[in-house]
Amino acid sequence: MAIDQIAFRHAMTQFGSGVTIPVTVDGAGQPRGFTANSFCSVAMDPPLVLVCLAHGAESYPAFRDAQRYAIHVLSADQGPVALRFAEKRADKFEDEQWSTGEDGLPELRGALARVSCEAHAVYDGGDHAILVGRVVEAKVDETDGQPLLYFRRKFLDAAA
Protein backbone atom coordinates (compact mmCIF):
# COMPACT_ATOMS: atom_id res chain seq x y z
CA MET A 1 0.00 0.00 0.00
CA ALA A 2 1.44 3.38 -0.99
CA ILE A 3 1.34 6.19 1.55
CA ASP A 4 -0.01 9.46 0.16
CA GLN A 5 2.42 12.34 -0.29
CA ILE A 6 0.61 14.65 2.12
CA ALA A 7 0.93 12.15 4.99
CA PHE A 8 4.58 11.53 4.11
CA ARG A 9 5.40 15.27 4.00
CA HIS A 10 3.54 15.86 7.26
CA ALA A 11 5.52 13.14 9.03
CA MET A 12 8.81 14.57 7.71
CA THR A 13 7.96 18.03 9.09
CA GLN A 14 8.24 16.50 12.58
CA PHE A 15 11.95 15.93 12.04
CA GLY A 16 13.87 18.96 13.31
CA SER A 17 17.17 19.66 11.57
CA GLY A 18 19.87 22.18 10.96
CA VAL A 19 19.95 24.13 7.70
CA THR A 20 22.74 24.23 5.12
CA ILE A 21 23.63 25.95 1.86
CA PRO A 22 25.66 23.80 -0.56
CA VAL A 23 27.46 25.85 -3.24
CA THR A 24 29.41 25.13 -6.40
CA VAL A 25 30.41 26.81 -9.66
CA ASP A 26 28.86 25.59 -12.93
CA GLY A 27 30.59 24.95 -16.27
CA ALA A 28 30.01 28.57 -17.31
CA GLY A 29 31.70 29.85 -14.15
CA GLN A 30 28.44 30.90 -12.45
CA PRO A 31 28.02 30.30 -8.71
CA ARG A 32 25.16 27.96 -7.80
CA GLY A 33 23.62 27.10 -4.46
CA PHE A 34 20.46 25.99 -2.71
CA THR A 35 19.06 25.65 0.80
CA ALA A 36 19.09 22.08 2.11
CA ASN A 37 18.23 20.25 5.30
CA SER A 38 18.89 16.78 3.87
CA PHE A 39 22.54 17.08 4.90
CA CYS A 40 24.27 14.54 7.14
CA SER A 41 27.62 12.94 7.78
CA VAL A 42 28.04 9.46 6.27
CA ALA A 43 31.45 8.05 7.16
CA MET A 44 34.65 8.86 9.02
CA ASP A 45 37.07 6.91 6.82
CA PRO A 46 37.04 8.38 4.31
CA PRO A 47 35.24 11.47 5.65
CA LEU A 48 31.98 11.57 3.70
CA VAL A 49 28.85 13.73 3.86
CA LEU A 50 25.68 13.67 1.80
CA VAL A 51 23.00 16.06 0.65
CA CYS A 52 19.97 15.32 -1.54
CA LEU A 53 19.04 17.60 -4.45
CA ALA A 54 15.79 17.59 -6.49
CA HIS A 55 16.18 16.88 -10.20
CA GLY A 56 13.93 19.88 -10.81
CA ALA A 57 16.21 22.36 -9.02
CA GLU A 58 17.87 25.02 -11.17
CA SER A 59 21.18 24.08 -9.60
CA TYR A 60 20.81 20.32 -10.20
CA PRO A 61 22.92 20.05 -13.40
CA ALA A 62 25.74 22.05 -11.80
CA PHE A 63 25.90 19.79 -8.70
CA ARG A 64 25.44 16.58 -10.70
CA ASP A 65 28.49 17.49 -12.81
CA ALA A 66 30.57 19.24 -10.12
CA GLN A 67 34.02 17.99 -9.13
CA ARG A 68 33.98 20.23 -6.05
CA TYR A 69 31.35 21.76 -3.81
CA ALA A 70 31.22 23.31 -0.35
CA ILE A 71 28.47 23.09 2.26
CA HIS A 72 27.76 25.83 4.83
CA VAL A 73 26.05 25.07 8.16
CA LEU A 74 23.92 28.13 8.92
CA SER A 75 23.82 30.11 12.16
CA ALA A 76 20.67 31.27 13.97
CA ASP A 77 20.59 34.71 12.31
CA GLN A 78 20.89 33.35 8.76
CA GLY A 79 17.18 32.72 8.13
CA PRO A 80 17.09 35.45 5.43
CA VAL A 81 19.90 33.84 3.38
CA ALA A 82 18.24 30.41 3.82
CA LEU A 83 15.01 31.84 2.38
CA ARG A 84 16.87 33.52 -0.47
CA PHE A 85 18.57 30.24 -1.47
CA ALA A 86 15.26 28.37 -1.25
CA GLU A 87 13.97 30.42 -4.21
CA LYS A 88 14.73 30.14 -7.91
CA ARG A 89 16.46 33.46 -8.55
CA ALA A 90 19.50 34.68 -10.45
CA ASP A 91 20.82 37.10 -7.83
CA LYS A 92 21.38 34.70 -4.93
CA PHE A 93 25.06 35.61 -4.52
CA GLU A 94 24.72 39.38 -5.06
CA ASP A 95 25.32 40.17 -1.45
CA GLU A 96 28.32 41.31 0.59
CA GLN A 97 28.10 38.17 2.77
CA TRP A 98 29.80 36.19 -0.01
CA SER A 99 33.50 35.98 -0.84
CA THR A 100 35.65 33.35 -2.58
CA GLY A 101 37.08 30.57 -0.42
CA GLU A 102 40.53 29.01 -0.76
CA ASP A 103 38.88 26.22 -2.79
CA GLY A 104 37.73 28.81 -5.36
CA LEU A 105 34.07 28.33 -4.39
CA PRO A 106 31.73 30.87 -2.80
CA GLU A 107 32.17 31.30 0.97
CA LEU A 108 29.41 32.64 3.23
CA ARG A 109 30.49 34.83 6.13
CA GLY A 110 28.96 33.99 9.52
CA ALA A 111 28.22 30.29 8.89
CA LEU A 112 28.90 27.98 11.86
CA ALA A 113 30.89 25.60 9.68
CA ARG A 114 31.94 25.05 6.07
CA VAL A 115 33.05 21.73 4.60
CA SER A 116 34.77 21.71 1.23
CA CYS A 117 34.19 18.49 -0.71
CA GLU A 118 35.39 16.55 -3.70
CA ALA A 119 32.53 14.78 -5.45
CA HIS A 120 32.65 11.13 -4.34
CA ALA A 121 29.43 9.62 -5.77
CA VAL A 122 25.97 10.49 -7.04
CA TYR A 123 23.25 7.95 -6.22
CA ASP A 124 19.69 7.55 -7.42
CA GLY A 125 17.23 8.93 -4.87
CA GLY A 126 13.96 8.87 -6.82
CA ASP A 127 13.17 12.43 -7.88
CA HIS A 128 16.30 13.56 -5.97
CA ALA A 129 19.99 12.82 -6.45
CA ILE A 130 21.98 11.75 -3.38
CA LEU A 131 25.26 13.66 -3.61
CA VAL A 132 28.05 12.13 -1.56
CA GLY A 133 31.08 14.35 -1.01
CA ARG A 134 34.50 13.55 0.39
CA VAL A 135 35.45 16.30 2.85
CA VAL A 136 38.88 17.74 2.06
CA GLU A 137 38.71 20.82 4.29
CA ALA A 138 36.53 21.69 7.31
CA LYS A 139 36.32 25.15 8.90
CA VAL A 140 34.45 26.07 12.07
CA ASP A 141 33.53 29.53 13.31
CA GLU A 142 34.75 29.14 16.91
CA THR A 143 32.63 32.00 18.30
CA ASP A 144 30.16 29.48 19.76
CA GLY A 145 27.23 30.70 17.65
CA GLN A 146 23.82 29.05 17.74
CA PRO A 147 22.41 27.00 14.83
CA LEU A 148 19.54 27.85 12.52
CA LEU A 149 16.99 25.08 13.03
CA TYR A 150 14.06 24.00 10.83
CA PHE A 151 11.02 22.29 12.35
CA ARG A 152 7.39 22.06 11.22
CA ARG A 153 8.11 24.28 8.19
CA LYS A 154 9.50 27.10 10.34
CA PHE A 155 12.95 28.37 11.19
CA LEU A 156 13.69 28.29 14.90
CA ASP A 157 16.38 30.07 16.85
CA ALA A 158 17.89 27.59 19.33
CA ALA A 159 18.81 30.47 21.65
CA ALA A 160 15.22 31.78 21.87
Q: Which helix (DSSP H) or strand (DSSP E) does residue 63 occupy?
A: helix 60-65
Q: Which helix (DSSP H) or strand (DSSP E) does residue 83 occupy?
A: helix 79-84
CA dist., res. 54 & res. 131, Å (int) = 11
* Piece in contact with ligand FMN (CB under 6 A), picked from 56-64, 100-108, 109-117, 133-141: 56-64
Pairing mode, if any, of strands 31-33 and 98-100? Answer: unpaired
Our CB check for ligand FMN shows the closer of 74 and 135 to be 74
The 8-class DSSP code of residue 39 comes to -
* Piece in contact with ligand FMN (CB under 6 A), picked from 57-65, 68-76, 94-102, 117-125: 57-65
Q: Binding-site residue total for ligand FMN (CB under 6 A)? A: 18
**Nearest distance from C-beta of residue 1 to ligand FMN, angstroms:** 26
8 Å CB contact between 81 and 107:
no
Binding mask 59-98 for ligand FMN (x = CB under 6 A): x-------------------------xxxx----------
What would you measure as the largest C-alpha separation in the chain, in angstroms? 50
Where on the chain is the footprint of ligand FMN (CB under 6 A)?
A: 19, 34-38, 52-54, 57-59, 85-88, 128, 150
